């Protein structure tokens, strides 16, 4: 990884840790076994635009934050972010748009989180409907926030480059 990627990765990892540690359980929706902390996927999603390695680092940091703050079930669900983030980053590296990568990774994200809670004894209904559908909705909402931030930063960077 280049120094610039490491710096961006560190910044996004710190945000990925701060969100669950500061706001986990507060800025969220809880329908057990599902919980959603608003904007918690945004640093992970933005990391996909940098590289697969940075996406891995940021998603792992997010999982650690959720494990510490909300316990093993939520921590395991957050660890599934590594899968969708790395796959999304690979898609972007291969020329797909950020928007397309977010849309393509939505079902992967929802399915992996639904699947992991089965290991903790949750029923297929709670895993599939509550966690799976809830995760899909949360991914969509955070995806819109990530797209807005990414677009804003791109416009700002372009404006600064022309001045």
The pLDDT tens digits of the residues spanning 79-128 come to 999 999 999 999 999 999 999 999 999 999 999 999 999 999 999 998 99
pLDDT above 70 for 34: yes
The residue-averaged pLDDT of 3-31 equals 87
Number of domains into which the chain is organized: 1
Task: Identify the band that residue 24 occupies on the pLDDT scale cut at 50, 70 and 90.
Answer: low
CB 101 within 8 A of CB 48: yes
The residue-averaged pLDDT of 55-74 equals 94
3-state secondary structure of 1: coil
How high is the pLDDT of residue 154?
77
Phi/psi region, residue 121 (left: phi>0; alpha: psi -120 to 50; beta: rest), is left
User: How many whole angstroms separate alpha carbon 28 and alpha carbon 117?
Assistant: 19
Ranking 15-24, 28-37, 152-161 by mean pLDDT, the lowest is 152-161
Residue range(s) defining the domain that contains residue 53: 3-162
- Write the burial class of residue 147 (CB in 10 Å: 0-12 exposed, 13-18 middle, 19+ buried): middle
How high is the pLDDT of residue 109?
98
DSSP string, 141-157: HHHHHHHHHHHHHHHHH
Q: How many of the other CB atoms lie within 10 Å of CB of 36? A: 19
The residue-averaged pLDDT of 5-24 equals 91
The CATH number of residue 16's host domain is: 1.10.1760.20
> Which is more confidently placed, 1 or 130?
130
How high is the pLDDT of residue 35?
82
The residue-averaged pLDDT of 120-138 equals 92
Would you give the DSSP letter of residue 90? Answer: H
């Amino acid at each position: 990884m280049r120094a610039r990627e490491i710096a961006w990765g560190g910044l996004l990892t710190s945000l990925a840790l701060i969100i669950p540690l500061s706001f986990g359980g507060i800025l969220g929706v809880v329908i057990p076994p599902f919980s959603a902390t608003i904007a918690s996927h945004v640093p992970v999603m933005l990391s996909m635009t940098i590289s697969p390695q940075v996406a891995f680092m940021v998603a792992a940091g997010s999982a650690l934050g959720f494990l510490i703050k909300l316990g093993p079930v939520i921590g395991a669900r957050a660890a599934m972010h590594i899968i969708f983030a790395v796959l999304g980053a690979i898609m972007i590296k291969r020329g797909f748009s950020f928007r397309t990568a977010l849309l393509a990774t939505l079902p992967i994200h929802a399915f992996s989180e639904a699947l992991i809670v089965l290991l903790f004894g949750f029923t297929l209904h709670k895993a599939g409907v509550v966690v799976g559908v809830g995760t899909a909705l949360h991914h969509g909402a955070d995806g819109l926030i990530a797209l807005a931030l990414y677009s804003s930063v791109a416009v700002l960077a372009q404006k600064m480059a022309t001045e």
